[in-house]
Amino acid sequence: MVTTISSTGTDRYVGTAHSRVDGPAKVTGLAKYAGEFAAPDLAHGYVVSGGIAKGRITAIETAEAEAVPGVIKVFTHENRPRTAWLDYNYRDAVAPPGSPFRALYDDVIHYSGQPVALVVAEDFETARHAASLVKVAYAAEVPATDVDAQAEFAYDPPKKRAGIKPPPQPWGDATAAYEAAPVKLSNDYRLAVEHHNPMEPHASTVVWDGNGRITVYDKIQGVSNSQGYIAAVFGMKKDEVRVLNPYLGGGFGIGLRPQYQLFLAVMAARDLERSVRVTLTRDQMFTFGYRPDVRQRVSLGADATGNLQSLRHDALSGTSRFEDYQEVVVNWSAILYDCDNVALSYKLAQIDTYTPADMRAPGAVTGVLALEIAMDELAYATGQDPVALRLANYSERDRTEGKPFGSKALRACYAQGAERFGWERRNPEPRSMTEGRELVGWGMATGVWEALMQQSSAQATLTSDGKLVVGNSTGDIGTGTYTILTQIAAEVLGLPMEDVTTKLGDTDLAEAPVAGGSWTAASSGTAVMKACRKIAADVFAMARAMDDSPLANVDFDRVVFEGGRIAVAGDPSRSVSLVDAMTAGAVDKVEATESAGPDSGHAKEFAAYTHSAIFVEVKVDEDLGQVRVTRVVSAIAAGKIINPKTARSQILGGVVMGIGSALEEESMLDHTIGRFMNHNLGEYHVPVNADIQNLDVIFVEEEDKANPMGVKGLGEIGIVGTAAAIANAVFHATGKRIRDLPITVDKLIG
């Protein structure tokens, strides 16, 4: 039976462009988000944020706030309900080692902006006003928030974070090889702290049903995480907690873990025995996770033609006092390029901030930035073309794992990207290309990200009217998951896409991992495919058993599903409709739940990564120091592309975030008071429409067996390497090498 996603039937959905099936709901406002769901007798909570970065609360006065008409209760550490705490019962799927932050737990202040009270009132405006009347006195201590100043206390994390590979053991002798190398480069690199800033702020709406069961609408990238958190912290059974998040207004990793508004909303709802909503302000979105502050040094030794003889990459990353946040920063250097003498190190330094958080392509954005700027510097030092230098040091194996790549079409990325961009017309001399009063620069870089698959389940139900419903608990964080799962299901059963409904973001559905890591298409997609195949097999058996069935004596592997029918491959006249088969089988629905995971031999024997080559043109006003990114060509090798339209959008979004990293985004810490000072969208700059010009995406053909779908995921790869390519283009334009990003006016003309 031909029911794979490479079906030879006429209904070709997978691999073709389709608009988002959830698009109409989003553009018309029918899509509801966590802070928009209605509930009877709904109260509103407003968080009071702390005023110091380190110390203790010595007094908290709430009487004036409580006297405001409409205020129901003010919660503080002094009167909060007692609960169980997750340290002892629960570890969420993405949490680093340590003790998770506990809101209103005691009088200790761990970081600036920490919640110190929750005002609950009949409406949001009253709660906000009353919150301004809460008075808090502190015994302040001097915070330590500068990673450089804490470097002497750096340590190798004793407990490794699940899923995060530590640096491999060194091979060869990187120090001796570096000293002997004819060409030596050793420099420090830094990418500024960044906050996620999705359009939708974090919010939780807790619906109280009066029977001890709650329904929670939470801003989360995986509802199972919130359900497990609530059950553990509040001593509830999982079946007493239903969590939903049908739509997410951007996540980028900050929605992987439950944030403190969820605890506060559930705490208040249980205490007051009524529905409660807590929505954070934009200012408060800066009071938890962020892309960490990482200090890096990359040292390259090479021969006169640029062949690497020594590679060393060292990183020091900031983390909170209460958790050892870790990500893969330095390993990419040994994965991307072949070198016989490699030493990598990754250490942590504790600072008085909240724990950093995964942010789109965590670790790779940071580590590949340093590596790819360093490789550009090596190209200039040895007189080599930057593309040719990378090809000369091309790796055919992942030496960190000792495995060959299952597929790697990076050479084709270089070739196709360079051709589309017109790279051969580049004059390599810095400051040699101009247009009017602007300096023109062309730069490039490589991108890499893991092609991951997680254990996932999915359910499917085909009803006797020929309609199909599929789904699981994972979320669609704006990537197009609703659409691609609909395509996969429609392809397997040969149904029109409009006859397929996909449901996501509900703990009542089959369990699936959080939406992150670029693994959703491979994980949930494969599970949906398997569930639909099971239904296909069951309905085929009914069709074959019909009296005088045209499919009698036909084997399962000799039929195709198309147009709502089961037909003999090559002979569409011999067919049975799905509806007729179910009628003959006397069933009104056929259901299946299937699971899929990374258990294939291919996944164990081969390394799986997505790759990219990014080519960038910038124009720099030398007098004003303004940088414009005028062209980007991003060539992507990511296995099978399920939907080129949504896939292209993913790469475009990643590229735009990369432009932000390179030129604009910077969370500024005042180390004297330990506070991020630009905690709003007026002073924390992100790219806007006027910053974005000609972005071009190429999907390079690539086949891989890392998972049954042959997909590699696209959420992360678009951003990796983009900032480095921009920095390299700025050097080509100006002759100024900026290693401390973002590249702002003062760094170019100062």
Handedness of CA 692, 722, 295, 307 (dihedral sign): negative
Per the CB < 8 A criterion, the answer to whether 451 and 495 are in contact is no
Handedness of CA 698, 700, 706, 710 (dihedral sign): positive
740, two tokens: 């401390």
Please tell me the predicted confidence (pLDDT) of residue 9.
43
E strand or H helix that includes residue 44: strand 43-49
- Domain(s) labelled CATH 3.30.365.10 in the chain stretch across 363-452+604-749, 454-597
Distance CA(242)–CA(236), nearest Å, equals 11
For tokens 């910053």, name the residue. Answer: 691
CA angle 653, 659, 663 (to 5 degrees): 155
Q: Give the predicted TM-score (pTM) of the model.
A: 0.97
454-597: what fold?
Answer: Aldehyde Oxidoreductase; domain 4 (3.30.365)
Distance CA(299)–CA(254), nearest Å, equals 32
Please tell me the predicted confidence (pLDDT) of residue 94.
86
Please tell me the predicted confidence (pLDDT) of residue 212.
83
108, two tokens: 């200790």
**Along the chain (750 residues), what's the average pLDDT of each consecutive run of 10 residues?**
39 90 97 97 98 98 98 98 66 83 97 98 98 98 98 97 96 98 98 97 96 95 96 94 97 96 97 98 98 98 98 98 98 98 98 98 98 99 98 97 96 98 98 97 98 97 98 97 98 97 98 97 98 98 97 96 96 97 98 91 86 99 96 98 98 98 98 98 97 98 91 97 99 98 94
Distance CA(243)–CA(255), nearest Å, equals 14
Where on the phi/psi map is residue 520: left (φ > 0), alpha (ψ -120 to 50), or beta? alpha
DSSP notation for 273-302 = TS-EEEE--TGGGGSS--B--EEEEEEEEE
Distance CA(258)–CA(246), nearest Å, equals 16
Distance CA(703)–CA(223), nearest Å, equals 32
Please tell me the predicted confidence (pLDDT) of residue 89.
46
Per the CB < 8 A criterion, the answer to whether 483 and 646 are in contact is yes
In sequence order, which residues have a C-beta less than 8 Å from that of residue 531 and are 6 or more positions away? 458, 459, 460, 470, 592, 593, 594
DSSP notation for 317-338 = EEE-SSB------SHHHHHHB-
What is the pairing mode between strands 565-568 and 183-191? unpaired
DSSP notation for 635-650 = EEE-B--S-HHHHHHH
3-state secondary structure of 88: helix
Per the CB < 8 A criterion, the answer to whether 489 and 5 are in contact is no
Helices 223-234 and 260-272, interaxial angle, to 10°? 50
3-state secondary structure of 14: coil
For 506, phi and psi rounded to 5 degrees? Answer: -150, 125
Other beta carbons within 10 angstroms of residue 703's beta carbon come to: 10
Distance CA(357)–CA(365), nearest Å, equals 13
CA angle 219, 291, 194 (to 5 degrees): 90
Of 721, 715, 700, 718, which Cα lies nearest the Cα of 640? 700
Distance CA(730)–CA(741), nearest Å, equals 12
What string of H, E and C letters represents the secondary structure of 353-365? CCCCCCCCCCCHH
Distance CA(653)–CA(657), nearest Å, equals 6
**What's 363-452+604-749's CATH class?**
alpha beta
Options 372, 438, 665, 716, the catalytic residue: 716
Please tell me the predicted confidence (pLDDT) of residue 106.
97
Per the CB < 8 A criterion, the answer to whether 505 and 476 are in contact is yes
Please tell me the predicted confidence (pLDDT) of residue 91.
58
Q: Output b/e per residue, 10-40; b: 16+ Cβ within 10 A.
A: ebebbeeebebbbeeeeeeeebebbbebebe
CA angle 147, 148, 151 (to 5 degrees): 85
Rg (CA), the chain: 27
Please tell me the predicted confidence (pLDDT) of residue 533.
98
In sequence order, which residues have a C-beta less than 8 Å from that of residue 159 and are 6 or more positions away? 97, 324
Distance CA(107)–CA(58), nearest Å, equals 8
3-state secondary structure of 391: helix
Q: Output b/e per residue, 322-351; b: 16+ Cβ within 10 A.
A: bbbbbbbbbbbbbbbbbbebbbbbbbbbbb
Distance CA(566)–CA(590), nearest Å, equals 15
**Is 716 a known active-site residue?**
yes
**DSSP summary character for residue 50:** P
Of 451, 529, 542, 468, which Cα lies nearest the Cα of 503? 468
